């Protein structure tokens, strides 16, 4: 029997920065988010950050950078989800990536998009 052990070694990094453009309504519901049924709420942004507490800082940066709403912030696992228009979510995610890279010395991944 093969056994896999996962271990988290906190680094200063963002490993996922993804924008979902035009998600299906069911995705909002499965994530426990208010559905994007108005014309302005058409994207979901997802970030995975280590150390996890940095998700709080990233949330602050995101909401100040663009007209996004916080969908979920988990300071223990470093997950941040924001919702809003495609342009606002993209601006928020880019602002987080730039800030933690330039001001906090983090390694960051490129933003991906579906």
Asked whether residue 53 is domain-assigned, the answer is: yes
- Token pair listed for 95: 């602002």
Condensed to tens digits (0 to 9), the pLDDT of residues 6-32 reads 665 668 999 999 999 999 888 888 888
Look at residues 112, 91, 114 and name the one whose alpha carbon lies nearest to residue 48: 112
For residue 95, is it within any domain? yes
Q: Is residue 3 part of a domain?
A: no
d(CA 23, CA 19) in angstroms, rounded, equals 10
DSSP track, 71-106: EEEETTTTEEEEEE-HHHHHHHHHHHHHHHHHTT--
pLDDT at 3: 83
What is the total count of domains within the chain?
Answer: 1
Q: Is residue 7 part of a domain?
A: no
> 53-111 pLDDT, tens per residue?
999 999 999 999 999 999 999 999 999 999 999 999 999 999 999 999 999 999 999 99
Residue 34 located in a structural domain = yes
Cis peptide before 2 (omega within 30 of 0): no
- Asked, for residue 100, whether it belongs to a domain, the answer is yes
Using CA atoms, how far apart are residues 19 and 25, in angstroms rounded to an integer?
15
What are 29-65's pLDDT values in tens digits? 888 887 655 655 689 999 999 999 999 999 999 999 9
Q: Which tokens in the block code for residue 94? A: 């880019």
pLDDT of residue 13: 94
What CATH number is attached to the domain comprising 96? 3.30.70.1710
> Hey, which residues does 52 pair with through a beta bridge?
none
Residue 34: its pLDDT value, please? 77
Please give the pLDDT value at position 75: 93
- The parent domain of residue 53 ranges over 13-113
Q: What is the pLDDT of residue 40?
A: 59
Predicted TM-score of the model (pTM): 0.86
């Amino acid at each position: 029997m093969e056994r896999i052990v996962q271990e988290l070694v906190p680094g200063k990094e963002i490993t996922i920065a993804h924008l979902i453009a035009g998600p299906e309504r069911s995705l909002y519901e499965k994530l426990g988010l208010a559905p994007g049924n108005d014309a302005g709420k058409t994207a979901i942004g997802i970030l995975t950050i280590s150390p996890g507490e940095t998700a709080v800082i990233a949330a602050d940066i995101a909401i100040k950078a663009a007209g996004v709403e916080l969908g979920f912030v988990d300071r223990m696992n470093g997950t941040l989800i924001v919702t809003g228009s495609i342009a606002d979510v993209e601006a928020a995610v880019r602002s987080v990536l730039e800030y933690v890279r330039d001001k906090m010395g983090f390694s960051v991944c490129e933003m991906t998009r579906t």
